[in-house]
Amino acid sequence: MTIRSDWRSGTAISWLLEEGRLLGDITSVLDGLGAALLSAGAPVARLRLALRTVHPLVSALSVVWERGKGITGYAEAPHGLESRPAYIGSPMEMIAVTQLPFRKRLNGVLAASDHVVLHELKSAGFTDYLGLPLRYSDGGSGIMIATTDLPDGFSDRDLVKLGKVASALAPIIEIFRLQHLTHAIADAYLGPRTGQRVLSGQITRGQIDKMEAAIFVSDLRDWTKISADLTPDAMVSLVNRYFDIVAEAVETEGGEILKLLGDGVLAIFPSSSPDAAEAACSRALRAADAALRKARESHEPLETTFGIAIHYGDVLYGNVGSAKRIDFTVMGQAVNIAARLEHLCSKFGEPLVFTERVARTLSQPARYIATEHLKGVSAPQAVFAI
């Protein structure tokens, strides 16, 4: 690598506009940008990108590139970042608050009051630090940080050129941020399978697919009575712990939660073909067993129990609703049977019940409980348990 005092920012900017903007993820963009800057002769030894995001679990993303190594770090910071010592008083916080560049020479003596991150970079051999805001059209911003290990640090011309590179990078990072935001919201509120369908354009009302699936319905027992005795905070805490238990079990087995129904869950385990019914039912039953077992063994037990019902059959999967408010859901008699069946958990004192259609897929004998007439279902249903 040859460092040139007359390096041209246009090399990196052209790469961003012609190639970088077409890449699908932030790590590839930063990796390519680092290579483009080195090709131009820029004195960069390390780059970092940081941006805020909107996600139920993640507050910010950070990617690090190093000369000769490529991408060396990717981190997702949980919520609460602003209250952590590593962030408070840091150059990153100063840039985020002021929306102004921050430059600090590291080749001299740092004061004890200088943030620990600057001391760490100096100890690692870096001689100059430049943080630049990446301003978005909506008023927000990301941050690009460039460091060098040249003995004299960055020159004034370097600062101007890196500023131009940051200006070209900003709209590309804004697009990535919006894409990440879109997918995060779709996954969180619709689920990964349904969210992907919506983002791919399957949003027309009445656009329905017929599929076979194991339908998984769960509900907290005695919710009306229990919720009346709980404070709002305690009530929310209870349902969140319940959802955590059930969601983890369902997602581990490849199912998808379609609805969180206040005190209940509707999930499906799609079957790729009629011959795959056994696999779909097995996954649903394993998820049910895992959820019930975790609830029993939890160090923070739920204040009540919950029931689970599983049925297998044809469902209609797609968009329904009014002209202005559309929902992506599953419908059909199979869904009705699973929902009605779940109410029998309390009647028979069973945490898990399922229909004969599911029982037939088991390799071990199921325990017959009763035959029941379910509301809205013409044929009586045999009810089984493990």
CATH at 88: 3.30.450.40
Reading the block at residue 246, the tokens are 């059930």
Domain co-membership, 180 together with 221: no
- In DSSP terms, which residues pair with 58 in a beta bridge? 78
Percentage helix, strand, coil, to 5, in the chain?
40, 30, 30
What is the predicted pLDDT for the residue at 50? 93
Indicate whether 155 pLDDT > 90. Answer: yes
What is the predicted pLDDT for the residue at 1? 61
Domain assignment of residue 352, yes or no? yes
Mean pLDDT of 203-226: 86
Domain co-membership, 135 together with 217: no
Domain co-membership, 242 together with 348: yes
Domain co-membership, 121 together with 243: no
Mean pLDDT of 17-29: 92
Report the distance separating Cα 221 and Cα 70, nearest Å. 53
Domain co-membership, 309 together with 381: yes
Domain assignment of residue 4, yes or no? no
Domain co-membership, 138 together with 197: no
Reading the block at residue 384, the tokens are 């089984």
Domain co-membership, 141 together with 200: no
Mean pLDDT of 330-343: 92
Domain co-membership, 266 together with 371: yes
* Nearest residue to 349 (alpha-carbon basis) of 305, 381, 310: 305
Cβ(218)–Cβ(246) under 8 Å? yes
Domain assignment of residue 235, yes or no? yes
Count of H-run helices and E-run strands, the chain: 12, 14
Domain co-membership, 319 together with 344: yes
Q: How many domains does the chain have?
A: 2
Model confidence pLDDT, tens digit, residues 107-141? 999 999 999 999 999 999 999 999 999 999 988 89
Which domain covers residue 279, as residue numbers? Answer: 193-385
Domain co-membership, 16 together with 152: yes
Cβ(215)–Cβ(330) under 8 Å? yes
65 CB-near residues (< 8 Å, 6+ apart): 30, 31, 33, 34, 46, 47, 48, 71, 72
DSSP run (H or E) holding 201: none
Indicate whether 22 pLDDT > 70. Answer: yes
274 or 312: which carries more pLDDT confidence? 312
What is the predicted pLDDT for the residue at 193? 75
Domain assignment of residue 3, yes or no? no
Please identify, among 168, 190, 212, the residue that sits at the C-terminal boundary of a domain: 190
Indicate whether 377 pLDDT > 80. Answer: yes
Please identify, among 133, 164, 190, the residue that sits at the C-terminal boundary of a domain: 190
What is the predicted pLDDT for the residue at 300? 67
Mean pLDDT of 252-269: 90
